[in-house]
Amino acid sequence: MDLRPLISNMPRWLSGAADAEGMVVSCRARLARNLSTQPFMPKASEADQAQVIIQVLEAAQRSSQLRAATFFQMNSLDGVASRLLVERRLISPALAEGKGQRGVLFSQDESLSIMINEEDHLRIQAILPGMKLAEAWSQANTLDDELGASLEYAHESRWGYLTACPTNTGTGLRLSVLIHLPALVLAEDMERVMRALAQMAFTVRGFYGEGTNALGNLFQISNQTTLGRSEEEIVASLSRLIGQLVEYEKDAQETLLAEARSQIEDKIWRAYGILAHARILTSQEFMNMLSALRLGYTLGLLKEVPASFMNHLMILTQPSHLQAGAGRVLEPEERDVRRAELVRQRLAELEAARGAGAA
């Protein structure tokens, strides 16, 4: 399968920073749903699973939003292709690595998608750039309503939506926000923040890497509770929390600037210099340099590289994207060279487009 059209496409959730500071990269709403007409995944035969796929595709055909969606049967994809979809956040590693009849359906701009036969029959996902949590929820909700008109969902009035794993039962709603918190990490404040979030029943994970060692200082924050609260309450409480985190981060950034402005400027511009000129870039170093650029953008010290550009680069430099671009499997050393080449080329294009006058 030729994945190049997909690589050249820029997913909508990466298309810009809706918040002025560029701290919040994206918001995602995910709904777990199951059909009452078929056995749940742990007990479903391949024939049952195929039936689920057919029913979901038919329902999508009748929806306004996924009528022209792209569908991939997972069995038809090789390793690079399915990992590429993981890197684009269209599917989970579990769907990529699973067995049986599985598929994914997604809109052209990739903001709406459905994983079919992952842990549940359906995982409806809406993902948007910047701090648009309510909108992401609303889009997922609208699609859910449209699909619900054709599909018979497993639902009980007492429990709400039934799911394969009880942690999703109820609303079936998992919201998550991808946020960049470099100053809190530098100030060694993240451990405290993460403990507080856990007490408030929110989960924090590194976007890459784990916990406070999150690569690129990117954290994914999501709700733990799906039961006993309305969807609107869940959206409101996570929104409030993100608002507070943004304020904490801003305070930490102001302190940094007041105490060590030259060092911060140096860190940011060195990162730019290295990204623009290095011939070898591991993904770890790339993510660290990108975090410095992102901080520069947030602080207004390096406005030349827009947040959307950084987000796009973050996706394109992942292993399977590099390999799909090359049209073959690459050794890690080759990927580091290709990654540096890609980053260099894109930054040179950006600079050329801006005209002369880079600092």
Q: Contact between 280 and a copy of itself (CB under 8 A)?
A: yes
CB 207, CB 287: distance < 8 Å:
no
User: Between β-strands 173-180 and 24-33, what pairing exists: parallel, antiparallel or unpaired?
Assistant: antiparallel
Which DSSP category does 35 fall into? Answer: B
- Among 39-47, 149-157, 228-236, 348-356, which window interacts with a copy of itself (CB under 8 A)? 348-356
CB 249, CB 19: distance < 8 Å:
no
Tell me how far apart the alpha carbons of residues 151 and 106 are, in angstroms, rounded to a whole number: 18
Nearer to a copy of itself, 229 or 344 (CB): 344
Q: What string of DSSP letters covers 237-287?
A: HHHHHHHHHHHHHHHHHHHHHHHHHHHHHHHHHHHHHHHHH-S---HHHHH
- Among 183-191, 196-204, 251-259, 270-278, which window interacts with a copy of itself (CB under 8 A)? 270-278
CB of 340 to a copy of itself, least distance (A): 7
- 66: helix, strand or coil: coil
Q: Contact between 359 and a copy of itself (CB under 8 A)?
A: yes
Tell me how far apart the alpha carbons of residues 50 and 33 are, in angstroms, rounded to a whole number: 16
What binding mask, one character per residue, do residues 319-338 give for a copy of itself by CB under 8 A, x or -?
A: --------------x---x-
Q: Which of 40, 272, 297, 309 binds a copy of itself (CB under 8 A)?
A: 272
Q: Give the contacts of 257 (CB within 8 A, at least 6 positions apart).
A: 264, 299
Q: Which of 277, 284, 327, 329 binds a copy of itself (CB under 8 A)?
A: 277
- Among 155-163, 165-173, 226-234, 273-281, which window interacts with a copy of itself (CB under 8 A)? 273-281
SS (H, E, C) 175-226: EEEEEECHHHHHCCCHHHHHHHHHHCCEEEEECCCCHHHCHHHEEEEEECCC
Kindly state the number of chain residues that form the binding site for a copy of itself, as judged by CB under 8 A: 24
Q: Contact between 304 and a copy of itself (CB under 8 A)?
A: no
CB of 271 to a copy of itself, least distance (A): 8
Site for a copy of itself in 245-264 (CB under 8 A): 262-263
Nearer to a copy of itself, 20 or 348 (CB): 348
CB of 188 to a copy of itself, least distance (A): 22
Tell me how far apart the alpha carbons of residues 216 and 88 are, in angstroms, rounded to a whole number: 17
Q: Contact between 269 and a copy of itself (CB under 8 A)?
A: yes
Site for a copy of itself in 18-57 (CB under 8 A): none
Q: Which of 270, 303, 327, 329 binds a copy of itself (CB under 8 A)?
A: 270
CB of 347 to a copy of itself, least distance (A): 10
Could you tell me the two tokens for 143?
A: 């699609």
CB of 208 to a copy of itself, least distance (A): 23
Q: Which of 86, 134, 246, 274 binds a copy of itself (CB under 8 A)?
A: 274
Nearer to a copy of itself, 54 or 348 (CB): 348
Nearest to 119 by CA among 74, 166, 85: 166
Nearer to a copy of itself, 93 or 273 (CB): 273
Q: Contact between 352 and a copy of itself (CB under 8 A)?
A: yes
Residue 82's H or E segment, with its range, is helix 79-87
Contact residues for a copy of itself, defined by CB under 8 A: 262-263, 265-266, 269-270, 272-280, 333, 337, 340, 344, 348, 352, 356, 358-359
